[in-house]
Amino acid sequence: MRLAEIFERVVGPDAPIRFTAYDGSSSGDPDSDIGLHVRTPVAVNYLAQSPNAVGLTRAYVSGHLELEGDMYTALRRMADFVFAEGVNVSARDIVEIVRSVGWVKFVNRVAPPPQEMTRGRLAGLGWRHSKQRDAEVIHHHYDVSNAFYEMVLGPSMTYTCAVFDDEDASPERVGRFDGALESAQFRKYELVSRKLGLEPGMRLLDVGCGWGGMVMHAAREHGVRALGVTLSKEQAEWAAKKIAQEGLSELAEVRHMDYRDVPDGSFDRISSIGLTEHVGAKNLPAYFASLHDKLVPGGRLLNHCITRPRNDLPPMNTKGVINRYVFPDGELEGPGQIQTAMNDAGFEIRHQENLREHYALTLRHWGANLERHWDEAVAEVGEGTARLWRLYMAGCVLGFETNVVQLHQILGVKLDGTDAHVPLRPWF
C-alpha cells in the first residue's frame, strides 16, 4: 500500500488538499491551493509513533513534512472536512496500514525535534510551577530571541491580545502593515488603564510584564509610577533599554524577578496580562492571595488571560502540541474558575468580558508579520523554530475562532472596609 492510499484510507478520497509523497503516489484534489508533501520516510516514523497532531508537528517542524500554501487555510480546511465527514478507519484498514508501513516504523523511535520540551526534560527541572522550573519554561518560550519577537510582534513588542475597533479589525488590513496592530495594542493598554482607573502618582505593579509595554504606557500616558516584573532576563534587559530611550526612567522600571518576591502592601493597582496561564490551576488561590496582599485597601486588579470555554475542562494536556512545544506547564482554566479564585482571595468582582475574537485577529497580524520577515526569522532562530511558530499561530487563530479557547479580562477590587471606590456605572 503506497502512502497516498494510506492517506485515502484515513481521511477519504475527497480530501480538499493535494497529497503527494516521496514514493511518487498522490491523492486528494490535484487543483487545490493547499498541498501536503511527505518528503522522507522519517515523517512516516513520526506519524506511525504518534498518529495525531504531535506526530504531524514533529514531521513538519523537522522539515520531513512540507505544506504548500497558507497554513491557516490548510488547518481550517482539514478541520472542517474532518468535522463534516469524520474519520472512519476500520480494524481491517489499521491492520493493512501497519503491514504496509512496516512494524519497524512503530518501534524504531526517532528523536523529536529539539523544539519539543519532552516530559523527561521537564522532570529534570523539578516540581511543576516551582520557581526554578517556572523560570526554565519561561526561558524556553520567551527567550527565543528579542530580534525574532520584534519581527513577529511589531513595534509594540506586545505578546498579548490586542483590542480592535471596527476600522482596525478590517480583514483587509491584515498584511498591510499600516499600524492597525499597533493601534489595537495601544487600545488594549488604554482599556486596562481605564478599568484600573490609573491616575498620576499611583503605584502600578505589572506582573509577567513581557517587554514592558503596559509599564511604559502607564507611565507615559497616565503619569503612573510603574514596576514590571518578568522571569525572562532577555525581556527585562530589552525593556530597561527601551524605558531609558523613551525618557521614562523616573516613572517606569522592569525587573528580572518572580512576582512572588515582590513586597506586599505597596501598590494601588495591579495588572496581570498573560501571566495566569503559567500559574497552574492548583496555584490560583495562592496567586490571587499574593496579588491581594500586594494591594492597598481600595486597590484594583485587572486579570487578562487565555481561558477555556467551560470550567469543567482539564486545564492542560501534557501530551498535546501546546504543552510540548509552545507553553510547557501552561494551564488554562475556565473564566468561572478564575473568577471564583479571585473572589475567594478577597476580591470583589466588578467586571468581566470575553475578547476571544480580538485574539484571533491579533494572531492573524502576528502570522502576517512572520511571513513578511520569513527569511530573516529563519536566519535568526532556525527553520525549525520558525516553522513551529507558523504552525502554532495559525492553529491558535483557529482555536479562538472556533471557541476552543477564549480570552477574559476580569476586574477585581480589594475593598476598603466595604467601599470599592468605583463609580456606580462602568467608566471605561
pLDDT reported for residue 52: 87
What pTM value is reported for the model?
Answer: 0.93
Q: What is the CATH number of domain 134-414?
A: 3.40.50.150
Q: Please indicate whether residue 272 or residue 48 has the higher confidence score (pLDDT).
A: 272
b/e for 392-410, b at 16 or more Cβ within 10 A?
bbbbbbbbbbeeebbbbbb
Give the residue from 324, 267, 273 showing the smallest Cα distance to 298: 267
86 pLDDT above the threshold of 70 = no
Q: What is the mean pLDDT of residues 171-190?
A: 96
The CA distance from 227 to 166, in Å, is 32
Q: Range with the lowest mean pLDDT among 139-153, 222-236, 266-280? A: 139-153
b/e for 118-136, b at 16 or more Cβ within 10 A?
eeeebeebeebbeeebbbb
Q: Which CATH architecture has domain 3-107?
A: 2-Layer Sandwich (3.30)
111 pLDDT above the threshold of 80 = yes
The CA distance from 284 to 274, in Å, is 14
93 pLDDT above the threshold of 70 = no
315 pLDDT above the threshold of 70 = yes
The CA distance from 412 to 29, in Å, is 53
| 38, 44 contact by CB (below 8 A) | yes
164 pLDDT above the threshold of 80 = yes
68 pLDDT above the threshold of 60 = yes
Q: Work out the percent of the chain whose per-residue pLDDT is above 90.
A: 79
Coil vs helix vs strand at 117 = coil
Q: What is the mean pLDDT of residues 306-335?
A: 93
pLDDT reported for residue 91: 66
Query: Which helix (DSSP H) or strand (DSSP E) does residue 194 occupy?
Result: helix 180-196
8 pLDDT above the threshold of 70 = yes
15 pLDDT above the threshold of 60 = yes
230 pLDDT above the threshold of 80 = yes
Q: pLDDT digit string (tens) for 346-368?
A: 999 999 999 999 999 999 999 99
189 pLDDT above the threshold of 80 = yes
pLDDT reported for residue 37: 97
Domain ranges of the chain: 3-107, 134-414
User: Nearest 5°: phi and psi at 186?
Assistant: -60, -45
The neighbour count for residue 55, using CB atoms within 10 Å, is 20
The DSSP bridge partners found for residue 408 are: 305, 354
